[in-house]
Structure 1
Amino acid sequence: MVKCYGRIRALDGFDLEVGAGEVTGLIGHNGAGKTTFVEVVTQLVRPDAGELRICGSDALRGPRSVREMVGVCPQEISLYRTATVRDNLRLFGALAGLRRAARHEAIRRLATELMLESVLDRPVGLISGGQQRRAQAASAMIGNPPLLLLDEPTAGADPQTRAALLRSVRARAEAGAAVVYTTHYLPELTDLAATLAVVRRGRVVARGEQSSLLHGLPSTVRLRFDTSRPARLPPELARRAVRENDEWHLTSLDPPADLAALVAAGCSPTFVDVDRPGLDHLFEALGAPPAGNHQEEARDAG
């Protein structure tokens, strides 16, 4: 898939397939193309080239036929602020093709699932940010669509909201929905057992399980020693170690083996902590800027 804004290619051969019951974590720095991809799938923008199929249907040739198949939770709160939570959900339920009785039951179920019972009849603009996040997620899920697009749904959310949203996403995937979940927070994707798709400069540059993508990336082992005796690290470890104040930081592909080598050499540390590789390490290994790097690549193309 290709999408250009002037000379900027926001999507440059973007290729992604998500199966039923699968959660795909879409990760990449700001400006990599994640949000542009979501906008194309939701038909807010049209790609310049490529194809888009949802449940086997050509979404570019027959967009109306697939709209009810997609539930979208954008980054920004997009609910009607002066309308109540209930009225917002009624509207999105109707747009999803639910009849009145089915809408009523779906609202009741989602209100319980996402802890919204106490605010159903309050205007969206008068409820908390966490409640707004949960209400927006409910609006995406109300029709039980086969495809869910969740664009940083927990951004700025409190722990209670984050836990509730992750439970709901897991439940939808277990029921057979295909889920695309964008985030900068890797532990959420671990919780969802998501497959990762790493986006860089408008294309997916790596795809796989977290463990396989992070395998082979070094950990940082933080060490402290008895200050009354200077630490003498074995030469093969000293070459990979840097001293910072009272700590040694050792780059290690096999922390247990390196710690065993330290002890065997008579250098028993008094403190050990292992920083495992994470999202920024993965981006660095793939040649991409870290997740917090705000890079403009196409009118805030995402």
Structure 2
Amino acid sequence: MGGIRQYARRWITDRREDGSPTQPRDTVDRIGTDGVAVHAQLWVLTLLIVFPIFVALTVSTKQQGIVTSLPDLIPGTHAVDNYREALVGYGFARFMWNSFVMAVIVVVGKLVVSVLAATAIVYYRVPYKDLVFVFVLFTLLLPVPVRFVPLFQLVNDLGWGNSLLAITVPYLASATTVFILRQHFLSIPASIVETAKLDGVGPLRFVWSVLIPMSRGVLVGVSIIMFVYAWNQYLWPLVIIDSEANQVAQVGLQLLQGDVQGGQLSWSLVMAGSVLTLLPPLALMIYFRDPLLKTFTIQQK
């Protein structure tokens, strides 16, 4: 009883003049202290993430890009020359264009395949569809290098070696995208689906007129994830593409690292290429950050 009375007395005391409750001072102080600690941690993590990018930007503005002390982190005056040399002299603009075309084709193809697959799994009576979905998820357990030898043989047998088809078609199926879209489709109210069926809406029209408009945010977020994934591909294009003119940006960075001037690696050109490679996915992730965050939290619905 004494504890209850003490709590009641404290509740009565901690009231504003208008009668609304207020938080105890120790609770407010604790929240304020925790808030400062959380913000400090966020700032530390942000600096740890941003610092390598800052170093890359700084090195890309110097003549040789050699950094041995803190004063060397002062930006140089050769930024324009370095970026022009990377883009024009070493053909890095061509590599970036190849990566962009590859990423766009992969994103569009994955969206079509994944939307149709998730729609069939969620809304239609497909024989053994649960077993099929488990098999789709099982493919996530297979490391990519395990598939390289049979995939390499298959692509060459089809005559797709050293072509755009070789670096796009193998990526058109995505178990992760199917899983994310399935989770989102399950969160759509069943009444909408039943109404569409009663109105006699066909499968393709149901996808185009109902699912896509209601899933626009998630589809944008998934597209950004797929774009970044395709843009960062390195090992498979390195294996299957022989011509330098058809290579992608990530492999192009290795070509920049292979250039040695005066017995030293030109880190300024390498960092210029790294910054150029970083810009497209970074710009997309910043511009579409809201649907991207929505996609990452879709599993909580």
TM-score > 0.5 by shorter chain: no
Shorter-chain TM-score: which interval? under 0.3
> TM-score with structure 1 length normalisation?
0.21
Structure with greater Cα Rg: 2
Q: Which has the higher helix share?
A: 2
